[in-house]
Homo-oligomer: A and B are copies of this chain.
């Protein structure tokens, strides 16, 4: 059970994705995509920048922000903000979905929309268009099956 690489893409595939989204595939953008599209899990801009520094790339912080914003505008990334932090986090899961926040670690987990049912009985003035839901609680790794507390 190794740290699942999610979806690994070759440099070629990343370049195609960028071009397909109308974004020039520069060296910096390809590198950042390698991280945010393949490796990272809900990273912040700061984390992207730190990763770049450690991985043979000196990319300015401005470029990190520029690139992340470009990817968001191109529809390859979503920008999210949660109440427990001031930092924007970037999400490569483009499905509509919710999140679970582990209070202890601060780690976020994707929750499929279908796993949650929300029904609201509101006055008819309220025309609902969408829900932002953050579930918070405790994430218990390594839980044995049928474990009593």
| Chain A interface (Cβ < 8 Å from any Cβ of B) | 80-83, 86, 100, 103, 109, 111, 115-122, 124-141, 143, 147
CB of A78, distance to nearest CB on chain B (Å): 11
Give the complex CA separation of A88 and B37 in angstroms.
Answer: 31
B140-A135 in contact (CB<8A): no
Picked from B111, B116, B132, B135, the residue with its CB within 8 Å of the CB of A134 is B132
* Chain B, residue nearest A144 (CB): B124
Residues of B within 8 A of A103 (CB): 129
* Chain B, residue nearest A102 (CB): B126
CB of A9, distance to nearest CB on chain B (Å): 27
B100-A122 in contact (CB<8A): yes
Interface centre among A133, A139, A141 (most CB of B within 10 A): A133
* Chain B, residue nearest A101 (CB): B132
* Chain B, residue nearest A86 (CB): B86
Picked from B111, B131, B137, the residue with its CB within 8 Å of the CB of A133 is B131
